[in-house]
Structure 1
Amino acid sequence: MTATCLMTTYQPLDLGFVKGLGTRLWDQGGREYLDAVAGVAVTNVGHSHPRLVNAISEQAGLLLHTSNLYTIDWQQRLAQRLAGLSGMDRVFFSNSGAEANETALKLARLHAWHRGIEQPLVVVMENAFHGRTLGTLSASDGPAVRLGYNALPGDFIKVPFGDLQILHSIARSHGQRICAVLMEPIQGEGGVQLPPPGYLKAVRDLCKRRSWLLMLDEIQTGVGRTGQWFAFQREGIVPDVMTLAKGLGNGIPIGACLARGKAAQLFTPGSHGSTFGGNPLACRVGCTVLDIIEEQALVSNARRQGDRLLARLQEALGQHRQVVAIRGRGLMIGIELKEPIRDLALIAAREQGVLINVTRGKTIRLLPPLTIDAAEVEMIVAGVCGALAAACSAAEAKAVAV
């Protein structure tokens, strides 16, 4: 059936699912697939986890919504848990990652206002992705996501990701107007790009010296994905602001903006808000997700299985003629290809029974649930290798025919 009433914002694969359990999905014909995408780093504890099913069912029968006109117990519990895990002080809950990043940008503006900066700038990174609202789109990079949206807010200055020298140069030339740096600790949509060792710490130090807010977008990297609760913890730093979404709700919409120190004091009653943000259902789910990750030791499993998956991929594909680089951290891995290969994700699903994602045309992105085991790592490796071989053979046959 063709959904002609849907706006054409997506180009979905000719493939849909009716059931999920753990790391597996099933289509309408009953075929089973190993999910190495997890809804783009969302279903961190797997599909239909019984603890989550019970929590959602019970909470739906008790209370879904009251609004933030009233105290919400589950919201306070989740905020306390997240603050304790991250070293942050306060949390604002919203419904999505883009909203969480908009919240961070509002904090940056307030920070600038308190410092008397009339035309503030936020430093952002080339190749970044922070969302699709007009504000977060302005902070993102890439012509495809910005095409047609003219006159975007211009309060951003872009620098190359990982280039500390240029960042220092920007500090000298625009330092009086800069109020914050917004960046992903690992660029996800940009192809799983890791910063050079020590880069995050150097940026942290620069922000502290300049009284800029360091704002980290951990929407894709957070909640255990990289083998730490949050990616910044690997560098031994703490940001001023951090944003979360995706894996925090395991499929239930939730976003969170965390802040510490002076940044946590910037909002006052009425300066920000959300009708649905932090409702009882979403926050109870968030608490349950954290419980599951802790009880099943999924952060350490992500680190262990991620190291195994990265090593096996490098062993299997390191010399492949189409592979430029294989990189990642924890269960966030990218395989950069020399050229885009059409329908690679669909070939992997249909011929190998493994779901993969191909971002920006030529990077295979692997984001499996944090629950995967060693046998499933081997299944992912075999699936990626098989799909790449099939796709290359099809491309070569087409070239010969032409």
Structure 2
Amino acid sequence: MLEAYGKETLPTLLQELEEIYSDICSTITESILQGAEVVSSRAMEQHKRYDSLIIQCKAVSAPADLAQLARSLPTPHGRGLVKKRPFAPPQPPQNAEPSNGECFDGSNDNTPQLKDELVIDRLSALQLKPSHDALSKEAMDLEVKMRQIKDSLDTLLRMQQKSVEASLYNKSNELQEDISMKRFDFRVAQMHLCAINAQKELFSNKLEGDLVRNSATSDRKLSTVSQGSMKTKWLKAFKSLKTPPPESEKKNGAAATRELLKGDPDAHHFQENTYKKITPCDVCQQILRGHTRQGLKCRICKMNIHADCQDKAAKCQTKAKLLRRQKSTSEIETRVPEPNFEEERKCVNDSELENFLSLFIILNLLKTSLSIYIS
């Protein structure tokens, strides 16, 4: 966090202060310069005085003032910068001799080689993955928060620019306070995110090593188990096979209909049915009302009737097979009137007349084409 503050936050603040001072300095000097030029043109007696003022204003330099201010600032006597030093584990003495006079063997030294990583024991290993997940979730929340702050900051900057263009300086000053607070929140979240990412790196390195070791162990276990259980799998597969039922037990809808037709051919075989669409009764032409089991439907001729209209139903007739686009045959008349002889004769005469007219037109076209070809 201190590193992020020293490398990113503090230079950004100093740069913004420099920009603010430069803008203020340039604005004030330009306004004084313009006023001095106007007054010097109107008042000749004060010409020399304002000329010197103009020269002084032109000589003002914002970077020089900032440099002078930095030199004149006193050095803080409190806590200074934190210096990072690499960790050096304790080393045994080179020529250490025990009290009994025996030589010290440095090759049998068991001093742990400490590195920039976490040391996990059996008790703390259980909290490794939850801690990493908690840090990841917190980092994601901070990233979302930073994006939201960035969007609101851009919106406030656009509003301030529009207010300045519309000469609404009071509103612009109020927006400047909100902009400063948003920038402060953004930098705090950025520093917090840097600290969380540094902690995540320690957990990530440890988790990656554990995952590699666990995957190698699981691969060895799977290879051993698969070789031993292959015979068991084949036995279970053969035992799960079932013999197909005999042909006499297989009956589809058409076979059931043929069984019903063996009895009385004029008798209906009604059963209760639930209709999903609005369906009228084929006897009284009234709609079959209700939510479920609105009426009866014949299994052979597909007639739809009320339960009270069952006695008034006509004889059962096997319904013809419909075409692909036909929904029902309730509106199709079963009896087609036979045409009269006069109507058939009239149809034959009309067809002969049409054939004669078409032949006459073809001959005229041939005649016209031959005359054009000869000419």
More relative contact order, 1 or 2 (CA 8 Å, 6+ apart)? 1
Shorter chain as normaliser: what TM range? under 0.3
Name whichever structure is richer in helix by fraction: 2
Higher gyration radius (CA): 2
Normalising by structure 2, report the TM-score: 0.16
